[in-house]
Structure 1
Amino acid sequence: MRRSALIFAGLLLGLVFAMLSEGRLAHLRALAPGFVPAALAGAEDQSSLWRGQTRGLQPVPWPVAADLTWRFDRLASPGALWSIGLSGPGLTGQGELGLPLALDHAELRAAGLEILLADWPVLIDGWPLGGLVLAKGISADLTLPQGRLQRLNAVLDWSGARLAGVEIGHAEVVLTSDAGNWRAPFSLNGDVIRASGTLSGRFGDAMAQLDLRIDPVGALPEDWLRALDQSGTAIDKGWQITRELDLAAGWPLF
């Protein structure tokens, strides 16, 4: 009886190891399609635990679809680590994804993004943006298996900022989160306008609150003045814009 149990245990361990080392997503789709996570709907059939690729990933509020790749890196305290990459129109990124032994959450660390805004859809209808956005120090915690964001932090730097072909300066954003809420204070300084404000919201809720103050530095084009008068409230020599945004509505958001 004991010998049979040992043989059975050995066979079971061997089967599990074989599935982890050689198993492909195609096998899971064929044998148990109900167990394929929604997040892997676009993953290639040849993807495995060790390496793979998901195409067409587009979480809210991304305006473009991107491809996600992963490759097992190493075992470390407190769990396993994968190197991940992200690529899409005007978008490249990389980072490290950790899976602790508890298997109740995933940790994104040391991640960064480069975004060429000229290659993205317009954020403001009729007012294309330009310049390079660098997102550094991105870190996040996600619950498993739902994949819900619990924490997200990053610092964004927008250089060569352009609006409708006009250079508007340099902008910085600091994204922080706490207790299910997130805040992104930002500022922009240039030779045409100065702007500062905060975009804030709650994880799991597509609605966000924008509070924005814009002050002219130099003479503004007439179409800029008309647009600001229509969308904002005149305060002193500037404008205050306060509104709710539906981040799931798609771009343009304004």
Structure 2
Amino acid sequence: MTANPPKTQAASSLRTGLRIINAVLERETSGRTGFNVARLAQEMGIDPSKASRMTQELCDREFLERREDSTLRVAAGFHELARALNHGLLRGSRPVLRRLAIEHGAGARLSVRDGVLVRLLRAEAAAATEPWPVRAGLVTPCWCTGAGRALLLDHSGEEIAELLRGYELIGVGGPNAAHSAAEVAAANDRDRPGGMIAAHGEFEHGVTEYAVPVRDGQGRIFAALAVLGRHTDLEPREEAIRADLTASASSLGRLIEDTTA
């Protein structure tokens, strides 16, 4: 049997890394004893040597860290990101997200970018409408999600290429996911005039995510506000969602304190 080609291996490693971070975070937030590498490998059904290798890489990148008892937890980088978030925005986003979810019968999310990852800060959903269960801390790739592309909306093609340098995009995401930095930039060029990202099947088949950037008082993109659900449900409401997201993002932007003052 021939070995997997390098592109397939890279995509598989990225997916596994994202799953590991999610598993560690969910375990930590549940209040139960954290996973050590062996327990994590068993829980996720992956080879222990692979789990050891990948958790070490995640620790080296400061996504995870080991406690003295060898259990894993999310690293300082995650907590620094949470502390950097304006608490007024996080607190004020809940009613906004809840209203968006109920109004459009969909999931509503507030996210920020952490390198090439999109980290979910808060989510609300109308009953039984979320395409998949989520909780705060969920991480997804920036190049194949509506929120991720919204967070990159001010990036030039060259800046996107530099950000994604060394990452293999093929094999990650849904059927309409970008396969190169150039495709990410082209998709943003297409959506930028309308002020809203329309990601149809980019992360998961049949799921549409509409997203807009949330800007601070200096016009800098600070977060992304998104509505997502089944494509057949949301597409007929696209213009109403665009107007609602734009107004909601503007109201959230006013909650961001200028930390440079």
TM over 0.5: no
TM-score normalised by the shorter chain: which range applies? Answer: under 0.3
Query: Normalized per residue, which structure has more helix?
Result: 2
Query: Normalized per residue, which structure has more strand?
Result: 1
Q: Higher Cα Rg: structure 1 or 2?
A: 1
- The structure, 1 or 2, with the larger RCO (C-alpha pairs under 8 Å, 6+ apart) is 2
Q: TM-score, normalised by structure 1?
A: 0.23
